[in-house]
Structure 1
Amino acid sequence: MNQTQSQSQGSGLAPNVAALLCYVCPILTGIIFLILEKENQKVRFHAWQALMFGVTSIVVQIGFSILGAILGAIASFLGAILAILSPIVWLVFFVFWIVCMVKAYQGEQYKLPLLGDMAEKQAAKG
């Protein structure tokens, strides 16, 4: 096994460990590994996907909060419906987050719906 297979160039970590760490704190660690890993396409893919995933999850949760406040002011039952849906959406994001970490550690390039293709294009740009 050569050095590029056993450890990443920039971080000195094994590529699967670096890919996993991209998802630990998606926005922060995604940016860190984009800076550190200039060569490893797989780690860069996971860094981009983690970054996009982190931003998307925050935007969706903020959107749910704002929409819930507006709809709750109009009709309380609409706010209650969103209050029920919000934890379900959070749970879906949480499951995807765990799946991404497991797949990254296994060395797979698991692509999230919508975000995976964008991350792949960004990673290919280098």
Structure 2
Amino acid sequence: MAEHAGASADALESARSLLAARDRDLAEADAELAEVVSAAHVVATEAIRKLDAINAQIEAAVARNTVTAPVEGREFARFLLDKQREITDVLIVARAEADAKTRVLQRLLDRYRVSSTPA
């Protein structure tokens, strides 16, 4: 019976060690998740701010624009093309950041999954 109690105590200690290791891993994953979500929020907020600024510039230019000559029309077209490039740049950066965050989240998802086999 003493052998059985010793085996049970060893099994219990082993289970506690595994749970403690899992708890540490999940705490690290939680911290990384919080960092990723926070960074994604910053990127999205910055992209929105930039797009709002571009929108305000375009609206202001349209409101004051009185194209009466071909030169003014070409100048306004260049302005709009520049703004289109700025919008594209903002979206490319935001998409790249989103893709990077998605990869991190996929990796974290694997860490959160419970394994059916002992580690």
- Normalised by the length of structure 2, the TM-score is 0.50
| Greater share of helix | 2
- Pick the structure with greater CA Rg: 2
User: Which protein has greater RCO, CA pairs closer than 8 Å, 6+ apart?
Assistant: 2
TM-score calculated relative to the size of structure 1: 0.47
